[in-house]
A and B are shown apart, each in its own frame.
Chain A
Amino acid sequence: MSMTARQRSLTIKAIQLIVLVVAVAALVLATNWGKVGKTFFNFGEVAPMFPDVILVGMRNTVLYTLGAFAFGLVLGLILALMRRSEFGPYRWIATAFIEFFRGVPALLVMLVVGFGVPMAFEVKWPLWVNVILALGLVSSAYIAETLRAGLQAVPKGQLEAARSLGMPQWRAMITIVIPQAFKIVLPPLTNEIILLTKDSSLVYVLGVMATQYEMTKFANDGINQYNAGITPLVVGGLLYLVLTLPLTALSRWFERTTQATSRAPKRATEAAKKEEVAA
């Protein structure tokens, strides 16, 4: 018995569909929907979470995230430039820093910065500073690697052309190299903000006051406050998606526009077209 390629692909699709239908049917039949509804989707009961979960929780989540990102970006850029430095000690320090903060859990950094730094340096600044410091330190290590890759992706000839036109190194970096690297790193940087949005939930380990709650803390406390199972966690999760899904879309959009603006020379595109036709 022999099948054409088309028949074979149809058969495979049919089998996949049957497997899916059976799995869904089994799940639906085996589930106690009343109980699931009360545990996960008891939205009526948790209405009192609003508006504070937005006005305080979401506001703090955004504040911690953006603050940490801004700090991480500045520190990350410094680290990335240090790693390219011709001065050995700068490279070593940056490498050690990056490897350290990429290798330890964010939770640990949060605890060390949140409790250790105020103790050791006898400073007493607001909690959000500690949060932004801790999350920013962690993200700066990732951002530095992202930026370094972006800087490396800019061809060496760009810097040489800029220097040949009389630009000093710093001017060539600022006007020619960094803007090109920036386009390359926009998508991964957007992903970094998404990661930070989620990592900001770690703040709870520092023992926060009501005005300092972010969304996860609201959600977690809600389990005991309302008789709605873990519906508060579901609410929290949905609110995170409200923040992160637009960022994901933004990242995709950046990816598309960068591809569109870095159009290859006509010659290359034509050659590519010919190859397509030939293939």
Chain B
Amino acid sequence: MSTSTPVQSAAGVRIAGLRKAYGENEVLKGIDLDVAPGEVVCLIGPSGSGKSTLLRCINLLETPNAGVIEVGGFTATDPEVNIDALRRRVGMVFQQFNLFPHLTVLRNCTVSQVKVLKRPKAEAEAIALRHLEAVGLGHLAHRFPGELSGGQQQRVAIARALSMDPELMLFDEPTSALDPETVGDVLAIMRKLAQDGMTMVVVTHEMGFAREVADRVVFMDGGVVVEQGAAAEVIGNPSQPRTQDFLRRVLDPTHVGLEAE
């Protein structure tokens, strides 16, 4: 699992005054967040606080209502932006893997290289195999996703995203749908990727991972950034009551707060 190469170019992200509403329901209420090239930021916060929406705004799976998002050289919020060109530079890993079930593992990793980047098939396959081997799954290249365990599928999903040479990787609760015993493999790959210098924005409930890997932890609640800082500070010694309350719940699931949720 050590054949991956350091990231060629990593992009930064600048988010300012980002707002997103679904009808009357304002989900993001003015988010400011900068991510430096090569930085790893973990987004934590209670369910419904807008973490996924924020992540999905960055690669325009959701259209922001206001504010500015810049990714690498792109202004995502510019109405003239080439959405597909932007997305080519941004890898996304979903909670539910979203592998293409009708294509083999290898084809999952080559289809967009060939159809979008116009790479020759042989080159695309070599690149895909390199990434599959890096996640320890080269031997499953000709299987179909349905034949793989959840943890294996998520590792393929990461290899698929990396095959496009992204400059930024977005992870939306990548281990939440996994059996506990497979979570470690996926986190190990993400840790390696962070070491290789990839810019990463990771929504996660894995506090151990956040503590160890994140350069910065951002706590969101109710569509705003409540607190952010070094992992040790935000997780180990949070200053805001909302953060303290959330972490008590996450770190001790048996804890019953005074206010029922």
A161 surroundings in chain B (CB, below 8 A): 92, 94, 98-100, 157
**Contact call B116/A160, Cβ cutoff below 8 A:** no
Rounded to whole Å, the gap between the CB of B172 and the closest CB of chain A is 10
Partner of B149, one of A183, A261, A266: A266
- Interface positions, chain A 159-212, Cβ under 8 Å from B, are 160-168, 171, 175-176, 179-180, 183
Partner of A262, one of B84, B98, B146, B164: B146
A175 surroundings in chain B (CB, below 8 A): 111, 115
User: Interface size (A, Cβ < 8 Å)?
Assistant: 25
B112 surroundings in chain A (CB, below 8 A): 162, 165-167
Rounded to whole Å, the gap between the CB of B66 and the closest CB of chain A is 21
- Interface positions, chain B 48-101, Cβ under 8 Å from A, are 59, 61, 84-85, 87-88, 90-92, 94, 96, 98-101
Partner of B164, one of A155, A163, A165, A267: A165
A160 surroundings in chain B (CB, below 8 A): 61, 92, 94, 98
Partner of A261, one of B88, B98, B111, B144: B144
**Contact call B115/A171, Cβ cutoff below 8 A:** yes
Any B CB within 8 A of the CB of A157? yes
State whether A166 and B94 are in contact (beta carbons under 8 Å apart), knowing that A261-B144, A262-B146 are contacts in the complex: no
B136 surroundings in chain A (CB, below 8 A): none
A262 to B99 CA separation, bound complex (whole angstroms): 12
Any A CB within 8 A of the CB of B228? no
**Contact call B100/A164, Cβ cutoff below 8 A:** no
**Contact call A171/B116, Cβ cutoff below 8 A:** yes
**Contact call B61/A163, Cβ cutoff below 8 A:** yes
Partner of B90, one of A164, A179, A262: A164
State whether A267 and B150 are in contact (beta carbons under 8 Å apart), knowing that A161-B94, A165-B116, A175-B111 are contacts in the complex: yes
**Contact call B146/A264, Cβ cutoff below 8 A:** yes
A175 to B111 CA separation, bound complex (whole angstroms): 8
State whether A176 and B96 are in contact (beta carbons under 8 Å apart), knowing that A164-B87, A165-B160, A266-B149 are contacts in the complex: no
**Contact call A164/B61, Cβ cutoff below 8 A:** yes
Most buried by B among A168, A175, A265: A265
State whether A265 and B150 are in contact (beta carbons under 8 Å apart), knowing that A165-B160, A166-B112 are contacts in the complex: yes
Rounded to whole Å, the gap between the CB of A127 and the closest CB of chain B is 41
**Contact call B164/A263, Cβ cutoff below 8 A:** no
* Pairs across A and B, CB under 8 Å, 7 listed: A161-B99, A163-B87, A166-B84, A166-B85, A262-B101, A263-B147, A266-B149
Interface residues of A (CB under 8 A from B): 155, 157-158, 160-168, 171, 175-176, 179-180, 183, 261-267
Closest 10 CB pairs of A and B: A166-B88, A161-B98, A165-B112, A263-B146, A164-B92, A157-B98, A166-B116, A166-B87, A166-B84, A168-B84
